[in-house]
Amino acid sequence: MQFEMRHKILPECEPEIFSDLDAPDWLTSNNTNAGSTMDCRWFWREHVLTLEVGASVETDFRVITRTR
């Protein structure tokens, strides 16, 4: 799986490209405690990893699109 993440408010920012293996920690919650207020693994597992190629999901500040 490969994803492209674009900033919604600052469109001049370069998009971030990542895979399901090297996604940002804030998105996967790899370095957080399960159930903590910073635990976003539910969003990663239920909304990002379930995207079909070409589909997108939005956060408050970003749009994440699955590209492969």
Query: Looking at the predicted structure, is the pLDDT value of residue 11 above 80?
Result: yes
- pLDDT recorded at residue 14: 95
Structure tokens at 35: 């159930």
Across the range 16-41, mean pLDDT stands at 82
Of the chain, the percentage scoring pLDDT greater than 70 comes to 91
Contact 64, 54 (CB under 8 A): no
- pLDDT recorded at residue 25: 87
- pLDDT recorded at residue 37: 64
Query: Which residue's entry shows tokens 């001049």?
Result: 12
